């Protein structure tokens, strides 16, 4: 696809203010943010053969303590088939939730604004590969009137070289952008992709890297025993001029850097990520001369045991970072008061294996789910969502929903939602 400049479409985005409520890891361009207690959590869930109807589904849970249905599933909306359901993301007005599948590259658009307790499927995008040129829609990042989608693979060799595409909110591709595979400066690009995150004040976007279809669709035990396959993981991050959608720098960050989190604290100018295979925290920030640098600033657990850090959530003040590690089932808290030297201050085993972690803006509530990837989930039936309260010293479990017992499948990504404000239209 021809690479189209999108600067004129994003001028308003560059002027947007950082999020002031809601989850801490949303796009800074979202409006209609939750103020205070969320009412629902929407969970994008992998269908598993023999578990309920076996289909992927969007599961809605009532999470308001004042509700008689607190901690209960109140709605489940199945989509046809199963295709490795993975991540979701709101449109900038929070009315619609885009959900992707990594196996068949379908995108499902749900109306969660009209009645968030009972979402409706309003569109299925079936031509993702043909129109975008990429495979495995992973990250959905809201822009004004647009959705920026980061991918994991490509249709040519099903490897890790990939890119991103800009969609309008109707589901049409506006432009596609390949990740760099050549050198920028003295660092060689590998073209791999995973997460996307934007700092509007600096017109800076960071992208991270994972692996391609051939790897993420292979059984984890088999993959680990294949030396050639284990070499096919991303080892870079890319700094982009967001307005021009142009790569400016490539950073060497060995070991598959996954989630990217910018500090939301006013005046901060840095982001942090974790490398899955080397269990390291990496800080990205400008040096004294103003040139951006990426540095290994600390370990997560014992890297020699490959705890496999997966998802993480930064606190609203930028001074804390929750990190889930899949292999040991631990949730860790790092003190980021000095982001140059993160310090672990807490850990707790929260499950046999844990993946996604989402915290409330006030830092008092932490939601955790279990599923990583369809073929990477280990052989256990302990798939759940749990809510923990954090009092500054200890995580206390409030409730757990067993997704196998409820015949739902395996819970992956989640987003908060709330009841529409009174007397305010919530549909287009």
Residue 6: per-residue pLDDT:
52
For residue 201, CA distances in Å to 241, 242, 249, 269, 295 come to: 12, 11, 18, 9, 22
Residue 379: per-residue pLDDT:
78
Q: Compute the distance between CA of residue 337 and CA of residue 319 in angstroms, rounded to an integer.
A: 5
Residue 423: per-residue pLDDT:
61
Residue 4: per-residue pLDDT:
47
Rounded to a whole number of angstroms, the CA Rg of the chain reads 20
Residue 22: per-residue pLDDT:
84
Instruction: Give the rounded distance of the alpha carbon of 425 from its chain centre.
Output: 29
Of 55, 60, 49, 59, the C-alpha closest to 101 is 55
pLDDT tens across the length of the chain (428 residues): 444 445 545 444 444 444 446 888 999 999 888 988 999 999 999 999 999 999 999 999 999 999 999 999 999 999 999 999 999 999 999 999 999 999 999 999 999 999 999 999 999 999 999 999 999 999 999 999 999 999 999 999 999 999 999 999 999 999 999 999 999 999 999 999 999 999 999 999 999 999 999 999 999 999 999 999 999 999 999 999 999 999 999 999 999 999 999 999 989 999 999 999 999 999 999 999 999 999 999 999 999 999 999 999 999 999 999 999 999 999 999 999 999 999 999 999 999 999 999 999 999 999 999 999 999 998 788 999 999 999 999 999 999 999 999 999 999 999 999 998 776 444 33
Residue 35: per-residue pLDDT:
87
Q: Compute the distance between CA of residue 41 and CA of residue 71 in angstroms, rounded to an integer.
A: 10
Q: Which helix (H) or strand (E) segment is 357 a member of?
A: strand 357-359
Q: Which helix (H) or strand (E) segment is 120 a member of?
A: strand 120-125
Q: Compute the distance between CA of residue 310 and CA of residue 412 in angstroms, rounded to an integer.
A: 12
Residue 426: per-residue pLDDT:
41
Q: Do the beta carbons of residue 137 and residue 154 sit within 8 Å?
A: no
Q: Compute the distance between CA of residue 268 and CA of residue 398 in angstroms, rounded to an integer.
A: 33
Contacts of 392 by beta carbon, 8 Å cutoff, 6+ apart: none
Q: Compute the distance between CA of residue 102 and CA of residue 107 in angstroms, rounded to an integer.
A: 9
Q: Compute the distance between CA of residue 359 and CA of residue 313 in angstroms, rounded to an integer.
A: 7
Q: Which helix (H) or strand (E) segment is 173 a member of?
A: strand 173-178
Residue 146: per-residue pLDDT:
98
């Amino acid at each position: 696809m021809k690479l189209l400049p999108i600067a004129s479409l994003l001028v308003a985005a560059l002027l947007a203010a950082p999020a002031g409520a809601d989850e801490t890891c949303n796009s800074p361009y979202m409006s209609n943010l939750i103020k205070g207690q969320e009412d629902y959590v929407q969970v994008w869930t992998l269908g598993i053969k023999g578990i309920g109807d076996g289909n992927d589904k969007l599961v809605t849970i009532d999470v308001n303590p004042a509700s008689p249905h607190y901690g209960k599933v109140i709605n489940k909306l199945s989509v046809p088939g199963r295709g490795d359901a993975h991540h979701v993301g709101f449109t900038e007005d929070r009315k619609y939730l885009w959900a992707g599948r990594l196996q068949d590259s379908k995108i499902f658009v749900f109306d969660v604004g009209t009645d968030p307790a009972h979402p409706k499927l309003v569109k299925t995008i079936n031509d993702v590969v043909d129109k975008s040129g990429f495979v495995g829609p992973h990250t959905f990042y809201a822009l004004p009137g647009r959705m920026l989608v980061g991918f994991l693979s490509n249709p040519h060799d099903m490897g890790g070289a990939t890119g991103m595409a800009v969609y309008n909110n109707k589901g049409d591709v506006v432009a596609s952008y390949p990740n760099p595979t050549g050198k920028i400066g003295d660092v060689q690009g590998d073209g791999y992709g995973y997460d996307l995150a934007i700092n509007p004040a600096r017109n800076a976007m960071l992208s991270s890297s994972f692996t391609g279809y051939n790897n993420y669709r292979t059984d984890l035990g088999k993959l680990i025993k294949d030396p050639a396959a284990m070499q096919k993981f991303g080892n870079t991050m890319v700094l982009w001029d967001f307005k021009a959608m142009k790569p400016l720098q490539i950073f060497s960050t060995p070991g598959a850097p996954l989630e990217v989190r910018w500090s939301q604290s006013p005046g901060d100018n840095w982001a942090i990520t974790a490398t899955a295979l080397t269990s390291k925290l990496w800080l990205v920030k400008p040096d004294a001369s103003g040139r951006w640098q990426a540095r290994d600033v600390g370990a997560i657990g014992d890297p020699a045991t490959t705890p496999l850090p997966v998802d993480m959530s930064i606190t609203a003040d930028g001074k804390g970072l929750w990190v889930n590690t899949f292999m040991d089932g631990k949730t860790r808290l790092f003190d980021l008061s000095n982001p140059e030297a993160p310090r672990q201050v807490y850990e707790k085993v929260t499950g046999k294996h844990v993946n996604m972690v989402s915290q409330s803006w006030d830092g008092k509530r932490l939601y955790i789910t279990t599923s990583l990837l369809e073929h990477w989930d280990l052989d256990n039936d302990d798939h759940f969502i749990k809510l923990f309260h954090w009092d500054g010293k200890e995580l206390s479990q409030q409730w757990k929903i067993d997704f196998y017992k409820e015949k739902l499948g395996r819970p992956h990504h989640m987003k908060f939602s709330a009841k529409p404000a009174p007397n305010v239209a919530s549909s287009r």
